[in-house]
Chains A and B, each alone.
Chain A
Amino acid sequence: ETGVTQTPRHLVMGMTNKKSLKCEQHLGHNAMYWYKQSAKKPLELMFVYSLEERVENNSVPSRFSPECPNSSHLFLHLHTLQPEDSALYLCASSQDLHSGGYNEQFFGPGTRLTVL
């Protein structure tokens, strides 16, 4: 596989469930990101990892818990979510967090999450 992959592509869960989203990048990048995409709202940065270390947490509720076991994998663990958390969750990676160039971010296709 090439690029950035995400699984599952679709997820329906109840408010009491625990589930995890998985992201894998095959690009040899050092930085990985979680974004939330909701209708009619700006794309929202949730977490940033650089070399497996979390460097940014944008005031995200604790019911979202990221994990980066190595530079190729990123997880988002979900627990007791609310219906308003329903959205498309996008993972992205870039060569490095800090770069002198334009530092393109490469996105996965996203996981469409529905919380009932």
Chain B
Amino acid sequence: GAGVSQSPRYKVAKRGQDVALRCDPISGHVSLFWYQQALGQGPEFLTYFQNEAQLDKSGLPSDRFFAERPEGSVSTLKIQRTQQEDSAVYLCASSLVGNTVETQYFGPGTRLLVL
């Protein structure tokens, strides 16, 4: 596809369940970012990959959050033992090379609701 795609678009989980969110970046894009957007807030950085290497995970809120990009393309964000405070929209973005001035292209997001 031409843009960043994410699946599922919506996910309802019971508290304590594990979830996995998928991101397909634009083909050929080296850099991939995950952001968390709480209701009424701007996106907040979670983690950053360059190819398969996770170069920055400083934004992950706890060790229940884990992200991977094993082949340098598709990425998965996993949340273990979900809590109600994890309810948010999770946005994935990709950029061609990953330098500071590059445009990041965003997917539509996965809306996670933890009951």
- A is bound by B: no
Interface residues of B (CB under 8 A from A): none
